[in-house]
Amino acid sequence: MTDSSDVLITEVGPRDGLQNEAAPVSSAAKVAFVEALVRAGVRQIEVTSFVHPSRVPAMADAEAVYAGVRREPGVRYLALTPNERGYERATAAGCDAVAVFTAASEDFTRANIGMSIDESLERFRAISREAQRDGVAVRGYVSTVFACPFAGPIAPEAVLRVVEPMLEGGCYEVSLGDTIGIGTPADVSRLLDLLLTRVPADKLALHLHDTWGMAAANTLRGLDHGIRSFDSSAGGLGGCPYAPGATGNAATEDLVHMLHALGHDTGLDVEAVALAADAIAGSLDHALVGRAHQAILARRRRLARAQGAA
């Protein structure tokens, strides 16, 4: 965060966004996307994911992308690592910050990473031990915090059961994933009312998908509970290949526009984020859906036309 920033945005577009894209995006375009987002002020960014390449083909070039990014001081460049093999690949590529992930739902964990929640926590502890030895920072994710695409509603207690061991095991922060974007502000309150009795707010982040259009409302509710760390993806890119129906993440431009209007400081230049997203959109087979993203580009086109006419 910059000195005056009070809200941390973790940009997940290059990973959560691009992992779901059917069109092949070149490694060079991915590297340029990461670097443009950092120039826009991003201080924590998920660059790629060292998962099994046959499971998520869009992340098969993780080594080339991670090693290709020119690193700036003061920026945390994360990579998703599901197991020890992923951790070894990530650190061999020069990674010093990893994100481990599990879920509050057994069915989702099984579909996503082929193991039970308890097994995934064992895997996490093994990674965490290596990370502590190597001086690598570990961020945690808990998916399906409100509902699972297979098992339906998830009780807040099931989330707490996973969040606590992740923090005790060394995660500097745990991000709560509304994987299928179905939570409402009432769900956010129910979950945070329980978690915050056991965990400080500054150890939690919200990772909201915008499938049902609730991401901004849920962010507001998170702010009301003292959460100051939010994940989002430029242009609203995103989805999870193992969550049927999951669409894009909360769009970075939407969140930043709202947060700045409320007097918060994210350290991000929202126009520069929109331009970074517009550049990667050139590699995709569809337009980006983020509302503020579209509004910013439309305003730029109007201004350019007006200047051309003057």
Contact residues: ligand HMG, CB under 6 A: 16, 19, 49-52, 55-56, 82-83, 85-86, 89, 101, 112-114, 141, 143, 177, 179, 207, 209, 240-242
- Picking from 206, 217, 216, 218, the residue whose alpha carbon sits closest to that of residue 159 is 206
Binds 255: which of ligand HMG, Mg ion, none (CB < 5-8 Å by kind): none
Q: Give the residue, chosen from 16, 210, 253, 254, that forms a contact with Mg ion under the rule CB under 5 A.
A: 16
Residue type, 68: G
C-alpha separations of 149 from 25, 53, 99, 112, 138 in Å: 28, 23, 22, 11, 27
C-alpha angle 96-118-175 in degrees, rounded to nearest 5: 45
- Minimal distance, residue 107 CB to Mg ion, in Å: 17
> Considering CB distances under 5 to 8 angstroms, the limit depending on partner class, which of Mg ion, ligand HMG, none binds residue 85?
ligand HMG
Task: Choose the contact partner of 113 out of Mg ion, ligand HMG, none; CB within 5 to 8 A by kind.
Answer: ligand HMG
List the helix and strand counts (H, then E) for the chain: 11, 10
Sequence-distant (≥ 6) Cβ neighbours of residue 218 within 8 angstroms:
178, 183, 184, 185, 187, 188, 206, 208
Break the chain down into helix, strand, coil percent, rounded to 5: 45, 15, 35
CB of 207 to Mg ion, least distance (A): 6
Check residue 61 for interaction with Mg ion (CB under 5 A).
no
Residue 278 makes contact with Mg ion by CB under 5 A? no
Out of 95, 148, 171, 240, which one is annotated catalytic?
240
**Does 240 participate in catalysis according to the annotation?**
yes
The smaller minimum CB distance to ligand HMG, of residues 209 and 228, is found at: 209
Catalytic residues: 240
Contacting positions for Mg ion (CB under 5 A): 16
